[in-house]
A and B are shown apart, each in its own frame.
Chain A
Amino acid sequence: MLAITPCPGRSLLTLAIYYLTFYFYLVNCYNKLVSVKKILKQLNIPAQCKKYGISLWQCPSFLFLIMGFIIIAASIIFYFLGMHYIDDPATVVFFVLILAALLFCLAYIITNSFENLVEASRMKTEFINIVSHQLRTPLSSLRWAIELLISGNLGKVGEGQEEYFRIIKENISRINNLISELLTISRIESARFPLREEFFSLVEVVKELIAEFEPFAKASNVEIKFNFEEKLPKAFADREKIKRTIENLLDNAIRYIGDKGKVEIKVLKKNKFIYFEIKDNGVGIPKKDQKYIFEKFFRSENALRYQTQGSGLGLYIARAIIEKSGGRIGFQSKEGKGTTFWFILPIKKETKAKSA
């Protein structure tokens, strides 16, 4: 009898339930859509989170997925509960409210984890700035002070002292290079790696470098040969960075020659590219190491590994520079016979406005 009598309080509750169900249905649809999209886009969520360097329970994409599942599961459960087991809509509303509170908390955690990510990225940038400025300033002081001492202007450098000054100077420059390389890498990885592109002669760059390396090559008993095509079009890239790439390749070539040898450099035009090649008859790269050669911090287990210095960053940076400039880099190597590194840079039409 009671069930048939219309009750105003009860119809209001029914309305509330319809409204809530509809609302959840909408939210549900939206979340499902977003979730599906997310799944399709980044199927491997744990890997994504690992990339950010945070745990799964702090990772927004993972938490979002969890929230999606909770919403879907809860809706289905309440639907069935409401249909078959719970007579009193007030109970359903009560549970739905609890669920809403739970979801609210989860959403708050997700927002928070986004903030963590932003904070981490900000700290990384700050760290780079601190390294670049705070560490480099004392290094510059050291470098200039030692150069001043070596120059002999403050008093004659005694015999036997010179060598030790040189050791200090060399090691300062090693630290300096390492800092530069680390900074470059962190820029490459945070995609803030700007190139100052301009037209320049690759041949000139190689000539400059050969002149700079002359003493080192002589001391290592290495002869450098340079062949180039006349009337080569100019390269369009970041001159300083390309110079550093070649410097790296040349340095490697001489360093890994061992006793005595020859380095041959070639620059020529190949189809729509400028082709650079550097060939040495050094110790070569063992076959098992060849696929890792462009990876950061990797140093080959070749015959000279322990007699030579290196951070294992040079080729990683070289590849990033060449690829960012629209080119490609590669090598062939045979253990004991030598190595040939090459890269290509696309030729761009030189316009008056650009070259100015």
Chain B
Amino acid sequence: MEKILFIEDESNLQKTLGSALGQEGYEVISALDGETGLRMAKEKKPDLILLDLILPRLHGLEVLKKLKEEEETKNIPVIVLTNLEGLTEIEKAIELGATTYLVKAQYSLEEIITKIKKTLTDNH
């Protein structure tokens, strides 16, 4: 079973997307802040990380930067899933090594799951 780490401070979003992914047969582990997310990425070795940007304790872009610096986590694909749609954030995230950048409000659950599936198959 493929493991997905979902770093998102909004518990409602955690629940909806988390349970939709669960039904697709993924194991979802969740972190509600940046620091926890980073620690869990190192401990649990997920196959994919979904990352929000506005996070308590450690900003998403910082998390991304640290993930890509560490040898053990740098190959895990990261999908940035946020509602910030400024060009600077998008460029920064892609530059730091995010696989895709998705603006939450623009995608349905189904579309997001499709993107996740695609990223996982591309990475294997």
- The reply to whether chain A is a binding partner of chain B is yes
Which of B11-19, B33-41, B59-67, B115-123 lies at the interface?
B11-19
A201 on the B face (CB < 8 A): no
Question: Which residues of B12-49 have CB atoms within 8 Å of chain A's CB atoms?
Answer: 12-13, 16-17, 19-20, 23
List the A side residues contacting B105 at CB < 8 Å: 136, 139-140, 143, 176, 179-180
A141 on the B face (CB < 8 A): yes
List the A side residues contacting B54 at CB < 8 Å: 133
B72 on the A face (CB < 8 A): no
List the B side residues contacting A179 at CB < 8 Å: 105
Given A144, A180, A194, which contacts B109 in the complex, CB threshold below 8 Å?
A144
Determine the distance from Cα of A167 to Cα of B84 in the docked complex, in whole angstroms.
27
Which of A114-122, A145-153, A272-280, A302-310 lies at the interface?
A145-153
B12 touches A141 (CB 8 A): yes
**Interface size bracket, A side:** 20 to 34
- Cβ-Cβ contact count across A and B, 8 Å cutoff: 56
B69 on the A face (CB < 8 A): no
**Interface size bracket, B side:** 10 to 19
B87 touches A194 (CB 8 A): yes
A196 on the B face (CB < 8 A): yes
Determine the distance from Cα of A180 to Cα of B83 in the docked complex, in whole angstroms.
11
Q: Which residue of A lies closest to B10 (CB)?
A: A137
A132 on the B face (CB < 8 A): yes
Q: Could you say which of B13, B19, B54, B109 has the most chain A C-beta atoms within 10 Å of its C-beta?
A: B109
B68 on the A face (CB < 8 A): no
List the B side residues contacting A143 at CB < 8 Å: 105, 108-109
Determine the distance from Cα of A246 to Cα of B17 in the docked complex, in whole angstroms.
31
Proximity string of chain A (40-69) to chain B, C-beta cutoff 8 Å, 1 when within and 0 when not: 000000000000000000000000000000
B109 touches A147 (CB 8 A): yes
Determine the distance from Cα of A176 to Cα of B108 in the docked complex, in whole angstroms.
12
Determine the distance from Cα of A270 to Cα of B23 in the docked complex, in whole angstroms.
51
A147 touches B108 (CB 8 A): yes
List the A side residues contacting B17 at CB < 8 Å: 144
| Given A145-B16, A153-B20, A137 contacting B83 (CB threshold 8 A) | yes
B104 on the A face (CB < 8 A): yes
List the A side residues contacting B10 at CB < 8 Å: 137, 141
Proximity string of chain A (202-242) to chain B, C-beta cutoff 8 Å, 1 when within and 0 when not: 00000000000000000000000000000000000000000
Q: Which residue of A lies closest to B19 (CB)?
A: A148
Determine the distance from Cα of A147 to Cα of B107 in the docked complex, in whole angstroms.
11
List the A side residues contacting B13 at CB < 8 Å: 137, 140-141, 144
B84 touches A133 (CB 8 A): yes
In the assembled complex, how far is the CB of residue A144 from the closest CB belonging to chain B, in whole angstroms?
4
In the assembled complex, how far is the CB of residue B50 from the closest CB belonging to chain A, in whole angstroms?
13
Given B23, B84, B85, B110, which contacts A147 in the complex, CB threshold below 8 Å?
B110
B104 touches A136 (CB 8 A): yes
B20 touches A140 (CB 8 A): no
Q: Which residue of B lies closest to A150 (CB)?
A: B109
In the assembled complex, how far is the CB of residue B54 from the closest CB belonging to chain A, in whole angstroms?
6
A196 touches B108 (CB 8 A): no
Determine the distance from Cα of A92 to Cα of B77 in the docked complex, in whole angstroms.
79
List the B side residues contacting A133 at CB < 8 Å: 54, 83-84
6 CB contacts below 8 A, A to B, read A137-B104, A139-B105, A144-B16, A147-B16, A151-B110, A154-B19
- Further pairs besides A132-B83, A133-B83: 5, Cβ < 8 Å: A133-B84, A143-B108, A147-B109, A148-B19, A180-B105
